[in-house]
Structure 1
Amino acid sequence: MSRALSLTTDPIDRLTWRIAWPMSIGMFFNTMYNVVDTWCAGWLGTEALAALSLSFPVFMVVMVTGSGLSQGTTALMAQAWGGGRPEEAKHVFAQSLLLALAAGLVMSVVGNLAAGPIFRLLGAEGSYLTKAQDYMRPVLYGSIFILMPMALNAALMALGETRHFRNFLIGGFVANCALNPVLMWGWGPFPEMGVSGLAVATVLIQAGGVGFLGRQAWRSEVGHGLAASHFKPDAAVLRQIAGQGVPAALNMLTVALGVFVITWFVQRFGKEAVAAIGIATRVEQIVLLPAMGLNTAVLSIVGQNHGAGLPERVREAWVTAIKAGAGLMILGGFFVGFLRGPAMRLFTPDETVISHGSDYLLTSAITLAAYPILFITVFAMQGIKRPAYGLWMGISRQLVAPFLVYQTLAFGLGWGLWGIWWGITCVTWSAALFSLYWGYRRFCRPSLSTIKAVSQD
């Protein structure tokens, strides 16, 4: 059995990769999980595919709630654990489970009441509306099982342990491949559920994740010795978790809104352009996966070392993750630039779509290295309990700047689609350079007294 990590004493470079790689591998399988759902929905017809797409905004609310809760809990627990306050870390963990339970119950009720009107607002009616509701109903009723694994994993991430979540995501992918056709078509003793079967499979897998991750969390250092008193509702701690989690969740929502903004501009150039950006961003997301685990690593490492009052290790963690992420994406950009045409042809034979998508991927090859700089700085700021930075950065990058830059380049200067593609590059790199400047000021130049003052917030 490998030795437990010490996030406050082990070498930073070793810690970074030890935490990041399992998470990156897990996220790859999580991405493929969604690909399998889309593929299976395609067997059921166009309406089933459209129902999944239509359900995305509602499903996104569930996911960002869980992600915000997880990030907030990890930051608070890591701070307490690194600061030598294990009882406080355990208390935060227990309270986060209560918050996940309450949020799941609220979503089950409110979500089912709101889903129908939202789908109608988006233009669904008849059998199309029915299928969208058939898919979302099990997801909303099972919200507790979707939120709980994220809360449980937050405790493990606070200790720098990401291998268990990786194993859960790999197991979930395999289970999804088996359950989807069984529940969709009603093989064996199971009734035919159609598109609902995809949702039921997800809820069952997440419920299994509660058991698996719960067992690992209870066996960990932070789970050992949990008492009933830790689960007594504590308004002050619940407010702290919400104070860290809500800005993180809202930041993720700005990402979803940013996709809507880009699509709104692109659709003015035709359906081929919309199809192209959809495929190209999927390629881009796959290339980004190796660097995404660094976000978790920097959150855990910065959180514990900030709580322990070790500013030099906080600085080293941020710098190490920035260098690693940017380096990986410079290499990834090289391959994207040279293989953009073949990558597009994997998804479509339409030459117009391939041409538009290849143009976007050419600019993406230059943009890729900016994303780790942005994300790592946001997660590092979360690690020192400054989550509002990510929210304001998300609002400016995803909502404010695009309307000014895309409109000017695409239509004001007449660059057309190239204006949007280069606009994305300009907006992203501008935000990344600002993040680099802000991160340098925050992590490389603060005095020890400032670090200690922040850690006591």
Structure 2
Amino acid sequence: MSLRGRLNGLFKGQEELDLTEGGIGWPLFYLSLPIVITNLLQTAYNLADTFWLGQYSTNALAAISFAFPMVFLLIALGMGLSVAGSILVAQHVGAGEEEEAEYAASQTVTFSFLASLVLGGFGYFFVGNFLSFLGASPDVLPRAEAYMQVISLGIAFMFGFFVFVSLMRGYGDTITPMVVMFGTVVLNVILDPILIFGWGPFAARGIEGAAIATVFSRGLAMLVGLGIMLRGKRGVQIHLDQMKPDLSYFKKLLTIGVPASIEGTGRALSINLLMVVVGLFPTTVVAAFGIGTRVFSVIFLPAIAVARGVETMAGQNIGAGKPDRAAAASDFAAKVMLTVLSVMAVLIWLFAQPVVAVFTDNPEVIEAGATFLRYVAPTFGAIGVMRAYTGAFRGAGKTMVAAALAILMLGIIRLPVAWVNTQYLGMDQTGIWWAFVVSNAIGAVVAVLWFKRGTWRDADVRGQKANVPADD
């Protein structure tokens, strides 16, 4: 049996999985598990870069700590369009409007590509100034800038794949993106050491080589994803004759997508501005912070994946006129994530030092990174709860609520607390670690209270049917 056949035996496609009928637990599991694997594979890009650059030099590791948040910022600025497309596809599929779902997907691809060109140009020309503002030292700045300029030139490839993943997820197909991601991650892991260290006929490019490997791999993933959607044999289909820019539809995408971009941008800006505080400490602390946040990106994969699954389930059930089922899915997901991440918190607490030591052999970095993980671990469950409910808000089209929660947690609580702790209360880097603890706990409480108000239940954002061109 082929690999694809075996995967299809383990996972269910949208045509086999009705998200608007029957039980909640197993459909959410089948929908979310491939997302966990896809996100784990996606995180492998960052982990591979972190590992190999950690072997290359501590300055390179610090440089990637500055570069990763800016990559997140560029993607966050344009991610709203893909989120809007995913929500519209989900609600149209739930309502049984297949042609409308395909038109939404086609328009999302068009406008996301145009947005990526603008953001890539911005990133290329202004990355140096931005990194300087963040406090990158003279030893770190040239390396971080080289990495970001390559990423900026290839940002359209990264956008393209994220759009593919979002649209397929809105339709209910989470298997196909997982398979595509697997192949490109393998390619990236192979290319990383070759281009960083200059193995064989390739010249050593250091941190720039890591960026080239990532862009090349993501570019291949984008091309495969577009080919799958154009064929339409699995998941949502796009049509070339529906990709001509429709400004009226663009307004609909913006109405839903701008708040989602605000959410993502708020997260990214808060992370970038937090680097200003982190950058006031020695390079070892910066490196420890970078490793810690990379570890968090793995730990929180189940919560992020389940949130995306809830987003799809909520969207399809809102489209089908079943808000009670959407609420039940959200509550179930929040309880499961609270349990799972609490167990993972115990493991991280016990094995913090060995985990950090995977990425570096510098004893100061290991000590600082392990302390960071142990401070934040008790609030892992809170992140799971918050993610579950923000997924429901997005699926219902209440993207501004999700944005408000993100800005509250990161911009209004975490960043000011970190600044006050370290600059006014005289705390060392543990003042930053405490900011994570406080913001995670408050964010979860606010998310629960807001969700229980029930104001999201009638948020059907499909509106009037688009003027879908008839087939010739």
* TM-score, normalising length: structure 2: 0.83
Query: Following the alignment from structure 1 to structure 2, what is the Cα–Cα distance between the partners of residues 116 and 285?
Result: 26
Question: How far did 1:175 drift?
Answer: 0.2
Query: Residues 310-337 of structure 1: CA distance to partner in whole angstroms, max 9, x if unpaired?
Result: 1121111111111111111121122223
Number of the residue aligned with 2:119: 107
2:172 to 160, 163, 180: 160
Listed as ranges, the matches of 1:58-77 within 5 Å are 58-77=70-89
CA contact (8 A) 1:306 1:455 kept: no
Q: Which is further off, 256-265 or 242-251?
A: 256-265
Query: Residues 53-88 of structure 1: CA distance to partner in whole angstroms, max 9, x if unpaired?
Result: 443354223322453332221111111111222222
Q: Which is further off, 334-343 or 20-29?
A: 334-343
CA contact (8 A) 2:87 2:394 kept: yes
Q: Which is further off, 72-81 or 227-236?
A: 227-236
- 2:458 aligned with 1:451: yes
CA contact (8 A) 1:344 1:354 kept: yes
Number of the residue aligned with 1:231: 243
- 2:185 aligned with 1:173: yes
Q: Which is further off, 155-164 or 401-410?
A: 401-410
Question: How far did 1:261 drift?
Answer: 5.2
Query: Following the alignment from structure 2 to structure 1, what is the Cα–Cα distance between the partners of residues 341 and 402?
Result: 21
Task: Decide whether aligned partners of structure 1 residues 41 and 265 sit closer, same or farther in structure 2, where only a CA change above 3 A counts.
Answer: closer
Listed as ranges, the matches of 1:43-442 within 5 Å are 45=57, 48-119=60-131, 121=133, 131-184=143-196, 194-217=206-229, 218-220=231-233, 223-224=236-237, 226-260=238-272, 262-265=274-277, 273-347=285-359, 356-402=368-414, 405-406=417-418, 420-442=432-454
Task: Decide whether aligned partners of structure 1 residues 52 and 290 sit closer, same or farther in structure 2, where only a CA change above 3 A counts.
Answer: same
Query: Following the alignment from structure 2 to structure 1, what is the Cα–Cα distance between the partners of residues 75 and 104?
Result: 21
Identity over aligned pairs, percent = 27
Task: Decide whether aligned partners of structure 1 residues 230 and 42 sit closer, same or farther in structure 2, where only a CA change above 3 A counts.
Answer: same
CA contact (8 A) 2:415 2:435 kept: no
Question: How far did 1:414 drift?
Answer: 7.2
What is the SS of the residue equivalent to 1:318?
A: helix
The one-letter amino acid of 2:458's match is I
Task: Decide whether aligned partners of structure 1 residues 228 and 193 sit closer, same or farther in structure 2, where only a CA change above 3 A counts.
Answer: same
Unaligned 5+ runs, structure 2: 1-7, 465-472
The one-letter amino acid of 2:232's match is R
What is the SS of the residue equivalent to 1:451?
A: coil
Query: Residues 396-426 of structure 1: CA distance to partner in whole angstroms, max 9, x if unpaired?
Result: 2112223554567678777766555444323
Q: Which is further off, 299-308 or 20-29?
A: 20-29
Query: Residues 118-172 of structure 1: CA distance to partner in whole angstroms, max 9, x if unpaired?
Result: 3455567999665545433332222221111111222210122111222222222
The one-letter amino acid of 1:252's match is G
Task: Decide whether aligned partners of structure 1 residues 430 and 86 sit closer, same or farther in structure 2, where only a CA change above 3 A counts.
Answer: same
Query: Following the alignment from structure 2 to structure 1, what is the Cα–Cα distance between the partners of residues 434 and 146?
Result: 40
The one-letter amino acid of 2:83's match is Q
CA contact (8 A) 1:66 1:151 kept: no
Question: How far did 1:100 drift?
Answer: 1.8
Question: How far did 1:202 drift?
Answer: 2.0
Query: Following the alignment from structure 1 to structure 2, what is the Cα–Cα distance between the partners of residues 174 and 328?
Result: 28
Query: Following the alignment from structure 1 to structure 2, what is the Cα–Cα distance between the partners of residues 130 and 361?
Result: 29
CA RMSD of aligned residues (A): 3.4
CA contact (8 A) 2:79 2:261 kept: yes
The one-letter amino acid of 1:451's match is D
What is the SS of the residue equivalent to 1:442?
A: coil
Query: Following the alignment from structure 1 to structure 2, what is the Cα–Cα distance between the partners of residues 74 and 391?
Result: 17
CA contact (8 A) 1:261 1:399 kept: no
CA contact (8 A) 2:73 2:264 kept: no
Query: Residues 4-36 of structure 1: CA distance to partner in whole angstroms, max 9, x if unpaired?
Result: 222222432111111111111222222222122
CA contact (8 A) 1:26 1:169 kept: yes
Query: Following the alignment from structure 2 to structure 1, what is the Cα–Cα distance between the partners of residues 459 and 328?
Result: 17
The number of residues matched between the two structures is 451
Query: Residues 415-447 of structure 1: CA distance to partner in whole angstroms, max 9, x if unpaired?
Result: 76655544432332122011111112227xx8x
Question: How far did 1:247 drift?
Answer: 2.1
Task: Decide whether aligned partners of structure 1 residues 175 and 366 sit closer, same or farther in structure 2, where only a CA change above 3 A counts.
Answer: same
The one-letter amino acid of 2:350's match is F
The one-letter amino acid of 1:288's match is F
Query: Following the alignment from structure 1 to structure 2, what is the Cα–Cα distance between the partners of residues 124 and 422?
Result: 23
Query: Following the alignment from structure 1 to structure 2, what is the Cα–Cα distance between the partners of residues 27 and 287?
Result: 11
What is the SS of the residue equivalent to 2:451?
A: helix
CA contact (8 A) 2:338 2:382 kept: yes
